[in-house]
Amino acid sequence: MRRLTWFNVTSLSLGFAFLYLPMLILITYSFNSSKLVTVWAGFSTKWYGELLQNEAFLDAAWVTVQVAVVSSSIATVLGTMAALVLVRAGRFPGRTLFSGMVYAPLVMPEVITGLSLLLLFIGIGLDRGIFTIILAHTTFSMCFVSVVVSSRLVTFDDSLEEAALDLGCSSFQAFRLVTLPIIAPAVISGWLLAFTLSLDDLVIASFTAGPSSTTLPIKIWSAVRLGVSPEINALSTIMIAIVAVGVITASLITKRASLRQQADERAAVHA
């Protein structure tokens, strides 16, 4: 074991400070009883109570969840299909164009994506609302799903699918019964990624949202412009908690699965 030198201690504290200090301050002040954000006046949970009374925030949260669930699900289906085509189909006319288009949103500035989608929706006369946000989020998050799934497919042993065909499956059955269950972890993490991206997207949602469909990030952003309120701090703390629980659970599950796999493989060697 290496000892903790002063250099290591410094880099560690600097790292933690940059990463967590802002969040720590935010969480602390969400329990502040004063309405003034920068003045500490004692511990209180009243802002959490008020948050639950705030219809506007609750509506925005509901819209956000709907958008995130629907768009990430559609993006997962489309992204997985795109990954399958790009990894499996070999060369076909227009392949370069297709892969370029799939991955374009990865590098495109969000403002541009948002603007071009806005122009499209206006052009085809689509009223902006929850539906257009879903479409927009599907567009930009499917490329992330496609990246995650195709990196798994590259290491997928094609003979598994051939074996399924050989044993009497149609191509679709082979995909459903063999390929999909095996790549499921990648598909699920693709979905989670798309879900998170949709949850915290502000730029694209601002371009494509209508008056009746405000998402939580838009709501927070506009509220903050009028001054940071302790309510916002409370809301953000809840979001941090949800994300933290999600991340910790996911990593625990993966860790346990890999430990069990290792144990099984050891057992098999000695069997």
Partner 1 sequence: MSQTVFEPWNDPTAKPLIQFKNVTKRFGDFTAIDNQTFDIYEKEFFALLGPSGCGKTTMMRMLAGFEAPTEGMILLAGQDIAPIPPNKRAVNMMFQSYALFPHLSVWENIAFGLKRDNKSKDEIAARVAEMLKLTRLEKFAKRKPHQISGGQRQRVALARSLAKAPKLLLLDEPLGALDAKLRQDTQFELMDIQETTGTTFVIVTHDQEEAMTVASRVAVMDDGRIVQADTPARIYEMPNSVYVADFIGEVTIIRGTARRGDGAYEITFAEGQPTLFAESDTEFDNGQECHLAIRPEKVSITAQKPDDRRNALEGKILDIAYLGNLSTYHVELSSGQIVKAQTANTTRLSRRSFTWEDRVWLSWTDTAGILLKG
CA 8 to chain centre: 33
Q: Which residues contact 121 (CB under 8 A, 6 or more apart)?
A: 128, 132, 135, 208
Nearer to partner 1, 38 or 159 (CB): 159
**Alpha carbon distance 206, 15 (integer Å):** 33
Output 18 or 172, the one with its CB closest to partner 1: 172
165 is a contact residue toward partner 1 (CB under 8 A): yes
Minimum distance between the CB of residue 168 and partner 1, rounded to whole angstroms? 3
Residue 258 binds partner 1 (CB under 8 A): no
Q: Which two tokens stand for residue 54?
A: 């705030």
CB contact at 8 A, 85 and 145? no
Of 164, 187, 197, 203, the one binding partner 1 (CB under 8 A) is 164
For residue 196, give every residue at least 6 positions away whose Cβ sits within 8 Å of its Cβ, in sequence order, or none.
243
| Subset of 120-159 contacting partner 1 (CB under 8 A) | 157, 159
Token reading at 45: 């949970």
39 binds partner 1 (CB under 8 A): no
Q: Is residue 250 within the footprint of partner 1 (CB under 8 A)?
A: no
- Estimate the crossing angle of helix 6-30 against helix 230-270, to 10 degrees: 130
Taking CB under 8 A as the rule, does residue 107 contact partner 1?
no
By CB under 8 A, name the one of 12, 58, 167, 242 that touches partner 1: 167
Give the CA dihedral 136, 109, 72, 253, nearest 10 degrees.
-170
Give yes or no for residue 168 binding partner 1 (CB under 8 A): yes
Instruction: Please name the residues in contact with 35: beta carbons below 8 A apart, sequence gap of 6 or more.
Output: 229, 230
- Return all residues near 152 (Cβ < 8 A) that are at least 6 apart: 183, 185, 186
- Site for partner 1 contains 253 (CB under 8 A): no
55 makes contact with partner 1 (CB under 8 A): no
Residue 214 three-state SS:
coil
Number of residues that bind partner 1 (CB under 8 A): 24
Residues 181-220 that bind partner 1 (CB under 8 A): 181-182
Terminal CA-to-CA distance of the chain, rounded, Å? 35
**Is there binding between residue 166 and partner 1 (CB under 8 A)?**
yes
The reply on whether position 160 binds partner 1 by CB under 8 A is yes
The least distance separating partner 1 from the CB of residue 92, rounded to whole angstroms, comes to 16
Least gap, CB of 249 to partner 1 (angstroms): 22
- What's the closest the beta carbon of residue 153 comes to partner 1, in angstroms? 15
Asked if 19 touches partner 1 (CB under 8 A), the answer is no
Tell me if 269 contacts partner 1 by CB under 8 A. Answer: yes
Interface contacts to partner 1, rule CB under 8 A: 157, 159-160, 162-170, 173, 177-178, 181-182, 261, 264-265, 267-269, 271
